[in-house]
Amino acid sequence: MTRRPVFLITVLCFGFAFFYIPILSMVVYSFNGSRLATVWGGFSTKWYVSLFSNRQVGAALLLSLQIALISATMATILGAMAGIALARFRRFRGRTLFSGLVTAPLIMPEVITGISSLMFFILMAQWVGWPGQRGFTTITLAHITFSMVFVTTVVHARMLQMDRAIEEAAMDLGARPWQVLRDVTLPVISPALLSGWLLAFTISLDDVVITSFTTGPGATTLPLLIWSKVKLGVTPDINALASLIVLTVGVCVALAGLVMNRAEKRRLAEERLAYRSNE
């Protein structure tokens, strides 16, 4: 009985309208000529011009990207280690605490992570004289810490799905345990590493709360800049900035989708070929 689930499809359409109407509205109003951000005053691109002439925005973006690159890479390394440790080493001293430590940051409200990191950095500066000044370093350290556990989750899940027999086969063929890890395990989980890295990257790039607590003089990331402007109310140049971000993300996602689609098609074609040659 092939029946269209009318109710479900209706809710789905409503949900997508809910998701995208605010974003579309923001894009439309970024071309608003009026200074009053909510009243339409004719088409204009002046907010884009003012955005591009704003040095602060460029600097903040650069800082955000630097922090996100470093922290995502470090988080991937540390998080993957933790994920592998949890999946492969069933028994070691302090395992319970360890698995608690990799889940706690996931459920810790950001405000608490923020103030605990800030108090930690202030007290460390007092006790051991480091960090001398808060800013780039402290933001990056905090980002690594709370994004690595997301990588751990992704890697752990992938490791549990993985067929252990291939690792055993490698061992059987004479590889030492760490060589198995390097030659078999890591390549097999590399898609999980990539998605973990991307996740950590976006989390870092998007973070406001923890960054606002761990930042110091002169270290203004893009979200902090937006935050300081948005707190004052709706301003048209933020609409323009938002539109550019939406455009960038949209293009990246579409490209990624296209590449994945191609790869998938190629894989299917190759599979079909392989089947045929078996017959």
Report the site for another protein in 55-94 (rule: CB under 8 A). Answer: 78-79, 81-82, 84-85, 89, 92, 94
CB of 166 to another protein, least distance (A): 19
CB of 80 to another protein, least distance (A): 9
CB of 89 to another protein, least distance (A): 6
CB of 185 to another protein, least distance (A): 11
CB of 45 to another protein, least distance (A): 18
Task: For residues 270 and 248, give the distance between their C-alpha atoms in angstroms, rounded to a whole number.
Answer: 33
CB of 110 to another protein, least distance (A): 7
Stretch near another protein under the rule CB under 8 A, chosen from 7-15, 44-52, 188-196, 266-274: 7-15
The interface with another protein within residues 141-200 (CB under 8 A) comprises 141-142, 144-146, 148, 152, 176-178, 181
Among 61, 110, 131, 135, binds another protein (CB under 8 A): 110
Among 70, 116, 131, 195, binds another protein (CB under 8 A): 116
Closest to another protein by CB, 115 or 188? 115
The interface with another protein within residues 257-276 (CB under 8 A) comprises 257
The interface with another protein within residues 215-254 (CB under 8 A) comprises 223, 226-227, 230-231, 233-234, 238-239, 241-242, 245-246, 249-250, 252-253
User: Which residue's structure tokens are 């060589």?
Assistant: 179
Does 5 help bind another protein (rule: CB under 8 A)? yes
Does 139 help bind another protein (rule: CB under 8 A)? no
What is the 3-class SS of the chain, one letter each residue? CCCCCHHHHHHHHHHHHHHHHHHHHHHHHCCECCCCCCCCCCECCHHHHHHHCCHHHHHHHHHHHHHHHHHHHHHHHHHHHHHHHHHHCCCCCCHHHHHHHHHHHHHCCHHHHHHHHHHHHHHHHHHHCCCCCCCHHHHHHHHHHHHHHHHHHHHHHHHHHCCHHHHHHHHHCCCCHHHHHHHHHHHHCHHHHHHHHHHHHHHHHHCCHHHHHHCCCCCCCHHHHHHHHHCCCCCHHHHHHHHHHHHHHHHHHHHHHHHHHHHHHHHHHHHHHHHHHHC
| Number of Cβ within a 10 Å radius of residue 266 | 10
Closest to another protein by CB, 84 or 154? 84
Among 7, 127, 130, 275, binds another protein (CB under 8 A): 7
The interface with another protein within residues 20-49 (CB under 8 A) comprises 20-23, 25-26, 29, 36-40
User: Which residue's structure tokens are 């109003």?
Assistant: 29
| Cβ partners under 8 Å of residue 42, min gap 6 | 32, 33, 34
Total residues at the site for another protein (CB under 8 A)? 89
